[in-house]
């Protein structure tokens, strides 16, 4: 957008805020029992978990008022403003977005500030890719502008690149490696094909792009070309944008190839205490850092086809055949390529935005999302930011009408997430002591809206809280509850699968949610600081991820044309945050956590047997089993004691002590020394898979050591898991004692 158009968008947002304010008094004056949601009906819950009877009615009245306040018009105007120009982290445009967010939070009545950090980011210079054999052809062609979507012709868009790729120049034969997973390299070995010294052509999907580069590097590849296959997010799935939501043939997925599965954030963070000369040396050689050592470039399938159609060699397995209109072969050659990438590592300033809605105590309930984008970022991250602002505006309106949350609500808009969770990691690491004292939970919404299918991932203790919010929120299109539409569905996005099964053998069962892996800003909160966390979204068909086509017009045409699902997400997220902030004792459900641990422990035992180990001296899991039983008994004891306390007349101080003990159970699950080989990740329950990067691996230390057949490490990790479960069980027993009125924790 031109400057005048940006000003118009800003004026639209403020005028919508004025209209909302003018009707606020009427909305807040409605009786407590007025219908919730646009459909006008919903079933009242039998009880409000975590609340005493004395406080439940007031909470329901305030929630009834809250859900009327988010508006589609304001959410649409916000997203239009957020996508008015490309705003890559470390640029003035990203700073302008941060200033806009700070001002909007302040206008909503929150205490807002910008928190800057100086970090090392990565930017492209000259990029050259050409096919040099069997004929010469220039590749790495830019994405094509689309008629009717002027943003796609914006010259300010950054060209496609892989952040943190080293600068290099490579010429070599091309080898097709499918998704670039460990099993793909095993299949290549069986076919007698090697990537050593060659250029690996790898399609996106199944795992994080950084994992693909890491594995290619480990297998000796000289360079990596990443492409989006039309079978994964292009025309094989449906109509490409603008006719449909899928990736056009020239679309390119930008992205960071930082090895965030080792540690996320500023890549020089582990170098604290070193001199500038020593840091420069490390950056030059990349020794000991989470940065790749071979060059990487993302390309379109249009360009990948020019290489694939000139590959001969072995015919790969049937499942390696993608959607490009030609038979796939592995090579090597006769296709050869020349790649030159000029990249620079630069110290830039990034801008986190932190806004507080003060409560009666200094306990924190946090909600966040990042604001930086590879280009325009309408879905990723603009949809989440628009939802976050709707929550803040609506809760600010409640505060002006007389509501004060019991606990302080903190809104967080992170910068440089796309480079490797840089802004959130920096803030969490800086505030570890405060978080351990004050933080109760963190709610993340990154790609908050790309369709109608609600789902998410969460630590097990918070999953029922998410389900409750979904049970009480109507779906805009059908009028049924969001929870009902959630049933019997499998969602997948970016290689992750999230399944929710409502029935098994005809019996009704609880909808499952995934464990937390990584790939968004909850990671530092959950896996490093041990804060109970959630990540929720409304999913859909989405093929324009990290491309120039993820813009306002895509959202208006394909993702959420009426912005009703932005409002739905604001209602669900608002309910979750209000219940955490207002409850006598927030509804941490450790009985579900215990049940999940028992279920997954069966899987862990099976993995040991599958590895051919039947001798308990090699790996004995009985100690973990005993600790899991103790955790389950303590969870039941704590849950029952809290229910008795809430049914009586518990004093507030006792309730707050119980709350802190329950929230601290997650931190008790951390390993003090971290996971073997990657100590930044400390959670013994789940972590991003070392060969997945996004998707979670449960009991990661033990499980991944088993997969490597590294039995000494497996024994060490099993002991760490046993100790973590014992610590967590003791916290639960302490909570039960306090809830029962016994003095001391």
**Chain position carrying tokens 């927030």:** 586
Could you tell me if residue 616 is inside a domain?
Answer: yes
List active site positions: 417
Angle between helices 3-29 and 72-82 (to 10 degrees): 160
Residue with tokens 């949601």: 37
Question: Distance between CA 704 and CA 359 in Å, rounded?
Answer: 43
Strands (E), 371-474: 407-414, 439-444, 453-458
- Same domain membership, residue 429 and residue 398: yes
pLDDT tens, residue by residue, 508-546: 345 778 999 999 999 999 999 999 999 999 999 999 999
CA distance 386 to 391: 9
Note whether 90 and 199 are same-domain residues.
no
Is 269 strand, coil or helix? helix
Q: Is it the case that residue 440 has pLDDT exceeding 60?
A: yes
Q: What's the confidence (pLDDT) of residue 695?
A: 87
Same-domain pairing of 725 and 638: yes
d(CA 358, CA 363): 10
* Residue pLDDT, tens place only, 269-328: 776 677 878 888 888 888 888 999 999 999 999 999 999 999 999 889 999 999 999 999
- Residue 485: burial class (beta carbons within 10 Å; 0-12, 13-18, 19+): middle
CA–CA–CA angle 627, 628, 629 (5° rounding): 90
Question: How does residue 2 score in pLDDT terms, banded at 50, 70 and 90?
Answer: very low
Tell me the β-bridge partners of 138.
130
Tens digit of each residue's pLDDT (9 = 90 or more) over 442-454? 999 999 999 999 9
In 3-state terms, what secondary structure has residue 536? strand
Instruction: From residue 192, give the alpha-carbon distance in Å to each of 217, 225, 316, 330, 362.
Output: 18, 21, 12, 11, 62
Spell out the SS3 assignment of 312-370: CECCCCHHHCCCCCCCCCCECCECEEEEEEEEEEEEEEEEEEEEEECCCEEEEEEEEEE
Contact 12, 100 (CB under 8 A): no
Kindly tell me if the per-residue pLDDT of 4 is higher than 80: no
Verify that 523 and 420 share a domain, yes or no: yes
Secondary-structure percent of the chain, ordered helix, strand, coil, rounded to 5: 40, 20, 40
CATH of the domain at 238: 3.50.30.30
The arithmetic mean of pLDDT across residues 711-735, rounded, is 97
Please report which helix (H) or strand (E) contains residue 28, including its range: helix 3-29
> Please, which residues have CB within 8 angstroms of residue 266's CB and are 6 or more apart in sequence?
117, 119, 120, 422, 425, 426
pLDDT band at 92 (very low <50, low <70, confident <90, very high): very high
- The verdict on 570 and 606 lying in the same domain is no
47 and 163 belong to one structural domain: no
Question: Does 575 score more than 80 pLDDT?
Answer: yes
**pLDDT at residue 156 tops 50:** yes
In a domain, 265, yes or no: no
pLDDT digits (tens, 9 = 90+) for 454-505: 999 999 999 999 999 999 999 999 999 999 998 745 333 333 333 333 333 3
Coil, helix or strand for 719? helix
Predicted confidence (pLDDT) at residue 591 exceeds the cutoff of 50:
yes
| Residue 474 within a domain | no
Report pLDDT for 389.
98
Which one, of 104, 61, 102, lies nearest residue 398 by Cα?
61
Q: Which token pair is 291? A: 């940065």
**Cα three-residue angle 584-569-79, rounded to 5 degrees:** 130
Using CA of residue 358, residue 359, residue 361, residue 366, what is the dihedral sign?
negative
Residue from 657, 643, 516, 659 nearest 579 by CA: 659
For residue 287, the model assigns a pLDDT of 82
- Between residues 175 and 30, which one has the greater pLDDT? 175
pLDDT value for 694: 84
**Do 88 and 180 belong together in one domain?**
no
Tell whether 195 is covered by a domain: yes
For residue 122, is it within any domain?
Answer: no
Given 582, 603, 628, which residue is the final one in a domain?
582
CA angle (739 as vertex; 744, 572 as ends), nearest 5: 125
Residues 235 and 382 in one domain: no
> What is the rounded average pLDDT for all residues in the chain?
90
Q: What is the mean pLDDT of residues 118-137?
A: 97
Q: Are 343 and 124 in contact (CB under 8 A)?
A: yes
Mean pLDDT along residues 217-232:
98
As a whole number of angstroms, the distance between CA 170 and CA 443 comes to 43
Return the H-helix or E-strand segment holding 164.
none
Q: What is the value of pTM for the model shown?
A: 0.91
What the block records as the tokens of 423 is: 């802004």
- pLDDT tens, residue by residue, 641-681: 999 999 987 689 999 999 999 999 999 999 999 999 999 99
pLDDT of 493 reads 33
Spatial CA neighbour of 146 closest among 250, 295, 253: 250
702 and 718 in contact (C-beta within 8 Å)?
A: yes
In a domain, 490, yes or no: no
Please count the helices (runs of H) and the strands (runs of E) in the chain.
Answer: 23, 20
In the chain, how many domains are there? 3
What confidence tens digit (pLDDT) does each residue in 42-60 have? 334 447 999 999 999 999 9
What CATH number does residue 714 fall under? 1.20.930
Residue that finishes a domain, picked among 565, 582, 599: 582
Chain mean position to CA 165: 22
Q: 582, 603, 620 — which closes off a domain?
A: 582
Question: DSSP letter at 514?
Answer: B
> Taking residues 617-634, what's their average pLDDT?
95
- Which residues form the domain of 152? 135-257+292-334
Strands (E), 197-268: 199-203, 223-227, 255-256
Residue 286: per-residue pLDDT: 87
Q: Compute how many other C-beta atoms are within 10 angstroms of the C-beta atom of residue 644.
A: 14
Q: Within this chain, do residues 326 and 356 fall inside the same structural domain, yes or no?
A: no
37 neighbors 473 (Cβ within 8 angstroms): yes
Distance CA 273, CA 271 (A): 6
Residue 38: how many other CB atoms lie within 10 Å: 16
> Is 185 contained in some domain?
yes
* pLDDT for the residue numbered 5: 29
Mean pLDDT of 195-204: 98
Q: Is 441 in contact with 366 (CB distance < 8 Å)?
A: yes
Q: Nearest CA to 83 among 386, 339, 352, 340? A: 386
Is the same domain home to 52 and 23? yes
Residues 20 and 106 in one domain: yes
Q: Is 273 left (phi over 0), alpha (psi -120 to 50) or beta?
A: left
Do 658 and 558 sit in the same domain of this protein? no
Spatial distance between the Cα atoms of 380 and 377, rounded to a whole number of angstroms: 5
Task: Show Cβ contacts of residue 450 under 8 Å, excluding neighbours closer than 6 positions.
Answer: 245, 379, 383, 493, 537, 538, 539, 540, 541, 542, 559, 560
Residue 241 has pLDDT above 50, yes or no: yes
* Coil, strand or helix at 505: coil
At 743, is the pLDDT very low, low, confident or very high (cuts 50, 70, 90)?
A: low
pLDDT higher than 90, residue 507: no
Identify whether 522 is part of a domain: yes
**Residue 26 pLDDT greater than 90, yes or no:** no
- Among residues of the chain, what percentage have pLDDT more than 90? 82
Q: CB of 642 within 8 A of CB of 741?
A: no
- C-beta separation of 367 from 410 below 8 A: yes
pLDDT of residue 510: 55
Per-residue confidence (pLDDT) for residue 489, from 0 to 100: 59
């Amino acid at each position: 957008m031109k400057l005048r158009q940006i000003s118009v968008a800003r004026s639209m947002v403020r005028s919508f805020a004025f209209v909302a304010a003018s009707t606020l008094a009427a909305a807040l004056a409605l009786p407590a029992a007025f219908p919730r949601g646009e459909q006008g009906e919903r079933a009242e819950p039998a009880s409000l978990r975590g609340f005493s009877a004395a406080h439940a009615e007031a909470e329901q009245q305030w929630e009834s008022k809250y859900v009327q306040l988010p508006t589609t018009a304001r959410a649409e105007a916000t997203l239009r403003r957020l996508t008015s120009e490309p705003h890559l982290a470390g640029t003035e445009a990203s700073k302008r977005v941060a200033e806009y967010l700070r001002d909007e939070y302040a206008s909503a009545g929150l205490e807002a500030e910008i928190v800057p950090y100086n970090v090392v980011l990565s930017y492209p210079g000259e990029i050259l890719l050409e096919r040099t054999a069997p004929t010469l052809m220039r590749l790495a062609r830019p994405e094509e502008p689309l008629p009717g979507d002027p943003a796609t012709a914006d010259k300010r868009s950054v060209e496609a690149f892989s952040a943190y790729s080293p600068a290099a120049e490579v010429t070599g034969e091309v080898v097709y490696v499918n998704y670039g997973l460990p099993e793909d390299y095993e299949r290549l070995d069986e076919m007698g094909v090697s990537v050593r010294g060659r250029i690996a052509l790898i399609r996106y999907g199944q795992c994080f792009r950084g994992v693909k580069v890491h594995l290619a590097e480990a297998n000796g590849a000289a360079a990596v070309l990443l492409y989006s296959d039309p079978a994964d997010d292009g025309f094989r799935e449906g109509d490409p944008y603008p006719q449909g939501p899928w990736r056009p043939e020239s679309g390119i997925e930008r992205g960071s190839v930082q090895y965030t599965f080792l540690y996320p954030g500023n890549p020089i963070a582990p170098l604290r205490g070193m001199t500038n000369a020593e840091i420069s040396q490390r950056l030059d050689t990349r020794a000991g850092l989470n940065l790749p050592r071979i060059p990487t470039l993302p390309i379109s399938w249009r360009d990948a086809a020019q290489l694939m159609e000139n590959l001969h060699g072995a015919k790969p397995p049937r499942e390696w055949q993608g959607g490009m209109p030609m038979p796939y072969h592995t090579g090597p050659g006769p296709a050869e390529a020349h790649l030159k990438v000029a990249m620079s590592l630069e110290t830039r300033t990034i801008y986190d935005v932190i806004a507080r809605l003060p409560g009666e105590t200094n306990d924190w309930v946090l909600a966040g999302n990042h604001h930086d984008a590879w280009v325009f970022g309408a879905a990723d991250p603009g949809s989440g930011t628009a939802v976050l602002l709707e929550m803040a505006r609506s809760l600010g309106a409640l505060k002006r009408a007389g509501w004060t949350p019991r606990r302080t609500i903190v809104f967080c808009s992170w910068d440089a997430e796309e480079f490797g969770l840089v802004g959130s990691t920096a803030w969490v690491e800086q505030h570890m002591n405060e978080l351990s004292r004050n933080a109760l939970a963190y709610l993340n919404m990154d790609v908050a809206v790309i369709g109608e299918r609600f789902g998410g991932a969460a630590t097990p203790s918070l999953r029922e809280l998410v389900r409750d919010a979904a049970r009480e929120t109507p779906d805009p299109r059908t009028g049924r509850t969001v929870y009902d539409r959630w049933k019997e569905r499998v969602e997948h996005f970016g290689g992750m699968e999230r399944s929710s099964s409502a029935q098994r053998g005809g019996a009704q069962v609880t909808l499952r949610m995934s464990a937390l892996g990584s790939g968004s800003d909850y990671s530092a909160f959950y896996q490093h600081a041990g804060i109970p966390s959630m990540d929720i979204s409304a999913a859909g068909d989405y093929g324009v991820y990290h491309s120039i086509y993820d813009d306002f017009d895509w959202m208006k045409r394909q993702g959420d044309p009426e912005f009703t699902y932005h409002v739905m997400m604001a209602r669900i997220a608002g309910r979750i945050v209000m219940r955490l902030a207002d409850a006598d004792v927030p509804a941490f459900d450790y009985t579900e956590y215990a049940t999940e641990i028992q279920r997954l422990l069966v899987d862990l035992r099976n993995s040991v047997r599958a590895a051919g180990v039947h001798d308990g001296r090699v790996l004995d899991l009985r100690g973990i089993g005993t600790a899991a039983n103790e955790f389950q008994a303590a969870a039941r004891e704590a849950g029952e004691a809290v229910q008795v306390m809430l049914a009586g007349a518990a004093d507030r101080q006792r309730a707050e002590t119980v709350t802190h003990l329950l929230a601290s159970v997650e931190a008790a699950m951390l390993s003090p020394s971290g996971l073997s080989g990657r100590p930044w990740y400390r959670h013994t329950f789940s972590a991003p898979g070392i060969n997945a990067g996004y998707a979670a691996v449960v009991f990661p230390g033990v499980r991944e050591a088993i997969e490597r057949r590294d039995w000494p490490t497996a024994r060490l990790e099993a002991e760490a898991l046993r100790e973590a479960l014992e610590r967590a069980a003791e916290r639960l027993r302490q909570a039960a004692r306090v809830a029962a009125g016994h003095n001391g924790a």
